[in-house]
């Protein structure tokens, strides 16, 4: 008897489940009802939902935020959520409450608790980047400040929950953002040369600097949502020769990195309305 191929939907969040791709740091993405309906259609048609975002895990766990919305709409169970382009697994795990190695009971029932299932994994030289991230981030931030750029303080947990260095500008001005990006590129290049000479933290990885939503982001070169796809396939125990029915949804050309197998079809979407239409088309096919 032939085994039915596993159905998987790899889904970016901002610009796919939301009306626009821009986002405000520290605020959970606003998922529309239209998107929730589309996600329910995918789940009812036996698709495993895998959410992969460039956001940090902290933003997805905000009270009544993204993970809460999924749970409220019965979409969280069986789903996987990866933040920081797949490097952090966000989804909560359920476990028994233990005291002195004994299960805690209340009203005759074992007490179940939820705990974050965050696990950072090493991809290439990313471990080296994380080793000197704190020092590198501090030095770049100081130099940007001396260059005249006003930078907001880091959010709680940002330095440990995200595999990137991020600086948010106080002024939301495109010219200021572009100038800050040029300075950051110059500073990163020089800092990297310093690290190469000292060998204090091992050879540094190649770094990309880019500007997004009035943030200067510095990340290991090649970091992308394909890491989330790789991790999900491993967790779902999908072998290279296994047949799957899979779609990847993203709003940028760079999201096409999620197509790491021939049987993953990448669909570029404009917004949540376009996502909903494409889901309807997929349901009709399968």
- Do 103 and 97 form a contact (C-beta atoms < 8 A)? yes
C-alpha distances in Å from residue 26, one per residue of 62, 82, 96, 114, 158 = 8, 17, 31, 22, 10
Rounded to an integer, what distance in angstroms lies between the CA atom of residue 81 and that of residue 49?
8
pLDDT tens digits for range 223-243: 789 989 998 998 899 999 999
Instruction: Provide the mean pLDDT of the chain.
Output: 83
pLDDT tens digits for range 167-183: 888 888 999 999 999 99
Tell me which long-range contacts 263-269 makes (C-beta under 8 A, separation of at least 24). Answer: 264/10, 264/229, 269/15, 269/16
Lowest mean pLDDT, pick from 30-34, 91-95, 201-205, 216-220? 201-205
Which of 16-25, 35-44, 95-104, 121-130 tops mean pLDDT? 35-44
Q: Map out the domains of the chain as residue ranges.
A: 6-91+224-285, 126-220
Mean pLDDT value across residues 15-37: 88
**Residue of 252 and 89 predicted with greater confidence:** 252
Mean pLDDT value across residues 189-200: 75
Residue % of the chain over a pLDDT of 70: 83
Instruction: State the pLDDT confidence band at 160, using cuts at 50, 70 and 90.
Output: very low
> Residue 120 above 80 pLDDT?
no
- Do 50 and 76 form a contact (C-beta atoms < 8 A)? no
User: What pLDDT does residue 93 have?
Assistant: 66
Lowest mean pLDDT, pick from 10-14, 165-169, 257-261? 165-169
What tokens does 57 get?
């895990």
pLDDT tens digits for range 74-90: 999 899 999 888 777 77
User: What pLDDT does residue 213 have?
Assistant: 77
User: What pLDDT does residue 159 have?
Assistant: 44
> Residue 41 above 80 pLDDT?
yes
User: What pLDDT does residue 157 have?
Assistant: 46
Mean pLDDT value across residues 34-38: 97
User: What pLDDT does residue 16 have?
Assistant: 96
**3-state SS of 85-141?**
HHCEECCEEEEECEECCEECEECCEECEEEEECCCCCCCCCHHHHHHCHHHHHHHHH
- Do 251 and 21 form a contact (C-beta atoms < 8 A)? yes
Instruction: State the pLDDT confidence band at 1, using cuts at 50, 70 and 90.
Output: very low
Mean pLDDT value across residues 249-256: 93
**3-state SS of the chain?**
CCCCCEEEEEECCCCCCCCCCCCCCCCCCCCCHHHHHHHHHHHHCCEEEEEECCCCHHHHCCCCCHHHHHHHCCCCCCCEEEEHHHCEECCEEEEECEECCEECEECCEECEEEEECCCCCCCCCHHHHHHCHHHHHHHHHHHHHHCCCCECCCCCCHHHHCCCEEEEECCCCHHHHHHHHHHHHHHHHHHHHHHHHHCCCCCCCCEEEEEECCEEEEEECCCCCHHHHHHHHHHCCCCCCCCEEEEEEECCHHHHHHCCCCCEEEEECCCHHHHHHHHHHHHHHC
From first CA to last CA, the distance across the chain in angstroms is: 20
> Residue 118 above 60 pLDDT?
no
What CATH number belongs to 6-91+224-285? 3.40.50.1000
User: What pLDDT does residue 156 have?
Assistant: 46
User: What pLDDT does residue 141 have?
Assistant: 82
């Amino acid at each position: 008897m032939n085994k039915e191929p596993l159905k998987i939907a790899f889904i970016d969040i901002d610009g796919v489940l939301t009306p626009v791709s821009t986002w405000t740091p520290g605020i959970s993405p606003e998922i529309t009802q239209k998107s929730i309906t589309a996600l329910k259609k995918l789940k009812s048609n036996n698709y495993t939902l895998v959410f992969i975002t460039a956001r940090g895990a902290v933003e997805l766990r905000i009270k009544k935020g993204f993970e809460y919305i999924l749970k409220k709409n019965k979409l969280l169970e069986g789903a996987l959520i990866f933040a920081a382009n797949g490097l952090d697994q966000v989804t909560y795990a359920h476990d028994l409450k233990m005291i002195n190695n004994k299960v805690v009971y209340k009203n005759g029932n074992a007490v179940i608790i939820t705990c974050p299932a965050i696990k950072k994994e090493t991809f290439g030289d990313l471990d080296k980047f994380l080793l000197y991230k704190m020092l590198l981030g501090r030095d770049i931030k100081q130099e940007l400040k001396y260059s005249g750029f006003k930078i907001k303080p880091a959010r709680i947990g940002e330095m440990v929950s995200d595999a990137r260095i991020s600086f948010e500008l106080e002024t939301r001005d495109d010219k200021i953002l572009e100038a800050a990006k040029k300075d950051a590129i110059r500073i990163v290049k020089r800092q990297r040369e310093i690290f190469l000479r000292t060998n204090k933290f091992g050879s540094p990885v190649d770094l990309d600097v880019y500007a997004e939503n009035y943030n200067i982001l510095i990340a290991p070169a090649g970091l992308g949502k394909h890491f989330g796809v790789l991790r999900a396939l491993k967790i779902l125990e999908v072998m290279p020769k296994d047949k799957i029915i899979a779609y990847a949804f993203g709003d940028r050309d760079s999201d096409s990195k999620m197509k790491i197998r021939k049987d993953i079809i990448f669909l570029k979407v404009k917004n949540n309305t376009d996502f909903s239409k494409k889901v309807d088309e997929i349901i009709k096919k399968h």
